[in-house]
Chain A
């Protein structure tokens, strides 16, 4: 566990202890609601984790790299953006992957697009977003996130 997570644990447990000292029944209510919030996203959460696991092994870094590394120009950017949007690889894999691709001649623009859409768009997590925001909002949000990204690049 990294330092950041430990600090968050410290914070949360500290507040919880404080809450327990102040008011036991409210603390029990706190725990009950925390659990309920967690249990609520559990079905989607399991689904996403399984889907990501499948994607990770089917679309290996080598596969993605073969397509992104050779491309250039606007087409490369678009391709990178699309790949970033539909794949869901964790940051600790994505950043070294992007670094490796950069060393092998991929453009900064392509990698910027790849990383940005990877972090922001998330087609795979869209079902969860739809659940909370409705189809229209999700669509708008994704479209805008994509377009402003290409604009800022």
Chain B
């Protein structure tokens, strides 16, 4: 019981914030509750396939396959695969971390992890389609191209900035999750 309280500390703090909002401004508080309910429902609707795929990869895909496809020597193919995986998966960015965890456990390289997270946050396909309809295809395509270039650049810079020992630590903490 105490464990659960401790694990959900962050949740309790935000709920405290919600409670304060409710007291200070009940009207806004009520709208916040409605919004939270809506996003929870939306999230629980979108998220299951992503986690099913995590389980499936975990149990069925052999480590050698992932190493070959997304490991250290995977080169351009690894980058493209990471971009595609990140753009195709569903769920908010925080759903990306468990996906990354299982991929790291199977031998995905540090750089491809960074690429996948970058793609997950900026080049999601449903979001891209939506961007086209609301901001026009010129805006959307230019941003897509710049985002992809940015993601690859970031992954290369991080690859250099973070030293090997720290990379190992990061990958380990990701995988042990």
Q: Which residues of A contact B33 (CB under 8 A)?
A: 53
B164 contacts chain A at the CB level, 8 A cutoff:
no
Closest B-chain residue to A25, C-beta based? B59
A92 to B129, CA, bound (A): 11
Considering only residues 108-136 of chain B, those with a C-beta below 8 Å from chain A are 114, 118, 121-122, 124-127, 130-131, 134-135
Q: Which residues of A contact B130 (CB under 8 A)?
A: 91-92, 95
- Is A37 in contact with B55, judged by CB distance below 8 angstroms? yes
Q: A1-B45, A91-B131, A136-B166 are in contact. Are A115 and B143 (CB under 8 A)?
A: yes
A105 contacts chain B at the CB level, 8 A cutoff:
no
Interface residues on A, range: 35 or more
Q: A40-B177, A53-B33, A119-B122 are in contact. Are A47 and B162 (CB under 8 A)?
A: no
- Is A120 in contact with B118, judged by CB distance below 8 angstroms? yes
Considering only residues 100-153 of chain A, those with a C-beta below 8 Å from chain B are 102, 108, 111-112, 115-116, 119-120, 122, 125, 127-129, 131-134, 136-137, 140-141, 144-145, 148-149, 152-153
Binding site for A on B (CB under 8 A): 7-11, 13-15, 17-18, 21, 28, 31-33, 35-36, 39-40, 43, 45-56, 58-60, 88-90, 92-95, 97-98, 100-102, 114, 118, 121-122, 124-127, 130-131, 134-135, 139, 143, 146-147, 149-150, 153-154, 157-158, 161-162, 166, 169-170, 173-174, 177
